[in-house]
Amino acid sequence: MIRLIGAELNRLASRRLTLILVLAVIAVVALFQVAVADAVTPPSPDEVAAAQQGFEQDHRDWEQNHEEWAQECLDDGGSAQDCAVAEPTAADYGLVPTPFGSIAGSGVAFAVVLAMLASYLLAASFIGAEFSTGSIGNWLTFVPRRDKVYAAKVIAIAVGAAAIGILAGFSMLGLATVVTTAIGQPLTGAADVAATAGRGVALVVFGALIGFCVALLTRHTVAALGVLVGYGLLWIGLQIITGFIPAISRLKPWQLETNLQAFLRWGTDYEVYRRVVSADGVGFDSVTRHLGFGAAAIYLTVVVIVLLVATLLVFRRRDVTS
């Protein structure tokens, strides 16, 4: 079994697409450091003077009018949460550098999403190409036990995806640390960012396994990409329909993207909308709810286990030569 896993890992690492995707991830992570440098660099005296003037004016307006603004919003049927007018802060006007934890955390989240997409494509093409070319049939003549072949492929995909996840998340954190330190800013929130990068590795593995399962079931890499695009279109459609049917927002804790976000960020808040009938007519109200890390972890675990089991059953019985 160890030799079989080693052979699958060697095949995965030797593919040209693997090198291209890894280089693309590294390039994007490196380019993001321009945004990190810009965010953590203190503003110049001229920029501070211009921003300070705007901040002071807006803050005075807020002090004088925020209660009136909020009341007008409430009178129009808005909720107390939606109508709350936040007090302007110096950070909103660029008077202080962006905290390291904020910009690095955004960078790590971006790197994780990028690595998930790359791993999905890599895993889908890895098995999809074997079905398209018929090489899977030749492979099974050397190792006829399909359970072993399937397990070796899954393990190889998981190990390869984990490597990409570590590369993406922790290289983003490391480079952002170097840039921020060079500029002379403190590394506030570095521990939380590192924890996010660690959780991101698990999500990259999840994305790769989903891509592997979808491509094996459809037997084509392009079909797996079509499933990914189709889900994106479904997500857009749900955002549009929710504006007309607020009850659909109750599906958010069961949607894949909500659970992915909750897992990565150790919990996330989401809005549930409801129709409210008052003397002024029909309006909408929203309630903020929380999806915790534990619930998201269970959801994602169940999804990947169900897909892996279903895919194994199909692989054991399917004629790979047709």
Parse the chain into domains and list their residue ranges: 2-42+97-244
Residue 285 pairs in a beta bridge with 274
Residue 301 pairs in a beta bridge with none
pLDDT: which is higher, 71 or 226: 226
pLDDT: which is higher, 169 or 51: 169
pTM: 0.83
Distance CA 165, CA 149 (A): 24
* Cα 149 to Cα 51, 234, 286, distances in angstroms: 62, 34, 50
pLDDT at residue 142 tops 80? no
| Predicted confidence band of residue 4 (pLDDT cuts 50, 70, 90) | confident
Contacts (Cβ under 8 Å, ≥6 apart) of 102: 39, 189
- 257: closest CA among 315, 33, 265, 26? 265
| Predicted confidence band of residue 138 (pLDDT cuts 50, 70, 90) | low
Angle value at C-alpha 188, between 260 and 35, nearest 5 degrees: 70
In this structure, the number of other CB atoms found within 10 A of the CB of residue 83 comes to 16
Distance CA 255, CA 235 (A): 9
- 255: closest CA among 284, 222, 291? 291
pLDDT at residue 162 tops 90? yes
Mean pLDDT of the chain: 82
Q: Are 105 and 192 in contact (CB under 8 A)?
A: yes
Give tens-digit pLDDT for 166-223. 999 999 999 999 999 998 888 888 999 999 999 999 999 999 999 999 988 888 888 8
